[in-house]
Amino acid sequence: MTVFLSIDQLSKRRHEAPDRYLFQGITAEVHRGQRVALLGVSGQGKTTLLRIIARLDAMDEGGLSLHGQPADNWKPQEWRAKVSYVAQQAVMLTGSVEDNLRTVSRLHGTPFDRELARTCMEALGLGALAWSKPASELSGGEKQRTALVRTLLARPDVLLLDEVTASLDPGSKRAVEQWLNAWSEREGTACVWITHDLEQAKQVSDRVWFMADGQLLEQGDTAAFFRQPETEPARRFIEWPAAGKDEANV
């Protein structure tokens, strides 16, 4: 079991009330090839946590290390090449689809893997998309998947996925889930998914991190989490949709 990423007692204070924590004392590891679903009700700080792990936001306390090396030993851009955050709202760079796909090879001076780019685009349902098209003209779902392929081409060790299927139809969503599962298995890439879709969490993860009350309240095996969560907030969280249905049937 190879540890890629370690999170040690990570805390973030609330910006409107710095004497209070958004979350506190988060300690976890991400192993090679592990697939984590990061769950919790809105506003817990899931996005903030992923952005801190990607070194896009600052932590207030605690530490991060990658491949056993503390964050301070890494240049931020080298860290971000290995620990890549994919946002819910994809940001396209100016230029064509191809310009976007070539971003990583341009930045790192490495050859552009056209074949891999083509395979990824097809797998994500974008096989028919003209690469000459201006990226600004893509639909939200096309942008999201193109941004994902752009990130995959950098072959990060850890992929931080923030509701990346939010604007996709069910078929495209399934294609992304299947491709990322297969990618993780083949490449050993670790994935941390923020999702509000519990079925998706079951499909894409072998481990759950559950955030509540400003903590990482539970972390464990996905099947065990959904079968028998250990805490009351987690029980309420996973039972809520069923409870809602019951109420609707009354």
Ligand X SMILES: Nc1ncnc2c1ncn2[C@@H]1O[C@H](COP(=O)(O)OP(=O)(O)OP(=O)(O)O)[C@@H](O)[C@H]1O
**Which residues of the shown chain bind ligand X in the complex (CB under 6 A)?**
12-15, 22, 40, 42-48
Q: Which residue number, 33 or 63, has a Cβ lying nearer to ligand X?
A: 63
Q: Which residue number, 56 or 129, has a Cβ lying nearer to ligand X?
A: 56
Considering the complex, what minimum distance in angstroms separates the CB of residue 3 from ligand X?
25
CA angle, residues 199, 200, 206, in degrees to nearest 5 = 100
Considering the complex, what minimum distance in angstroms separates the CB of residue 21 from ligand X?
9
Q: Is there a contact between 19 and 74 (Cβ–Cβ < 8 Å)?
A: no
Q: Which 3 state secondary structure label does DSSP give 170?
A: helix
Q: Which residue number, 24 or 34, has a Cβ lying nearer to ligand X?
A: 24
Closest-by-Cβ residue to ligand X is 42
Considering the complex, what minimum distance in angstroms separates the CB of residue 141 from ligand X?
19
Q: Which residue number, 44 or 172, has a Cβ lying nearer to ligand X?
A: 44
Q: Is there a contact between 37 and 177 (Cβ–Cβ < 8 Å)?
A: no
Considering the complex, what minimum distance in angstroms separates the CB of residue 51 from ligand X?
8
How would you classify the pairing of strands 69-70 and 21-31?
Answer: unpaired
Question: 164, exposed or middle or buried, with CB in 10 Å at 0-12, 13-18, 19+?
Answer: buried
